[in-house]
Amino acid sequence: MVSIKAPSFLAMAVTALASPSDVTLAKRANPYGIDVSGHQPSVNWKTVKANGIVFAYIKATEGTGFKNPEFNSQYTGATNVGLTRGSYHFARPDVSTGAAQATYFVANGGGWSSDGITLPGALDIEYNPYGATCYGKTQAAMVTWIRDFSNTYKSKTGVYPVIYTTTDWWKTCTGNNGSFGSTNPLWIARYASAVGTLPNGWSFHTFWQYSNSASPNPGDANVFNGDLAGLKR
């Protein structure tokens, strides 16, 4: 996730960072979640649930050659305490096609089931920690890569993946393409007191990663844009 990294909701642009207490008070009625990866190897899921966390996204894969070694234990742990959970894939458009990575993701924990507790898989498409911000792709090529991933995931699972990104990255690397808002739920990352301006094509967000610290819980802090019944739907 970034290291900065469907009802209507706040969309005003702000620049001042909010304290965790400010954000908590502002969104008390909405379901809270966390996202974790191999960097959080020992999650106490019972404590996480006791702290009020309702859902979790867990990193499954990256590119076509990396599996989170903690994925199975994390996913099972979240399931066993009754959290709604899903998995995410860290995109590497520089190493293989979108179709190849969607296939790898689905085969290694990224599937979906209409069981009422599984969130659609998420495509984490963001700043490149290994090199060029846009992975060496033109804006048009990046849009094609994302669409390739999205359509392949849909063909294999029956649902479109959630897209996790920042507005800045989306503008820079896709030219603020507006063609995904009608199909893919948006998971926006912005560490501030409001979600701010959304990428083109989305009139609302589904998830908001509002902090890179979910303390006292592990991982990053997220909130669902709706109520618990909406999350389950």
In the annotation, is 35 catalytic? Answer: yes
Could you give the 3-state DSSP secondary structure of residue 10? coil
Residue with tokens 């970034």: 2
Q: Whose CA is closest to 142, among 180, 105, 197?
A: 180
In the annotation, is 22 catalytic? Answer: no
Spatial contact of 157 and 122, defined as CB atoms under 8 Å apart: no
Angle at the Cα of 37 from the Cα atoms of 214 and 191, rounded to 5 degrees: 40
Report the C-alpha gap between 35 and 49 in whole angstroms.
Answer: 13
The tokens for 202 are: 């989305």
DSSP string, 149-189: HHHHHHHHHSSPPEEEE-HHHHHHHHSS--SSTTTS-EEEE
In the annotation, is 94 catalytic? Answer: no
Q: Which of 62, 70, 115, 126 is catalytic?
A: 126
Q: Which of 35, 62, 70, 220 is catalytic?
A: 35
Q: Which of 62, 70, 124, 220 is catalytic?
A: 124
Q: Whose CA is closest to 147, among 193, 207, 74, 201?
A: 201
Report the C-alpha gap between 216 and 183 in whole angstroms.
Answer: 34
The residue type of 156 is K
Q: Which residues does the annotation mark as catalytic?
A: 35, 124, 126
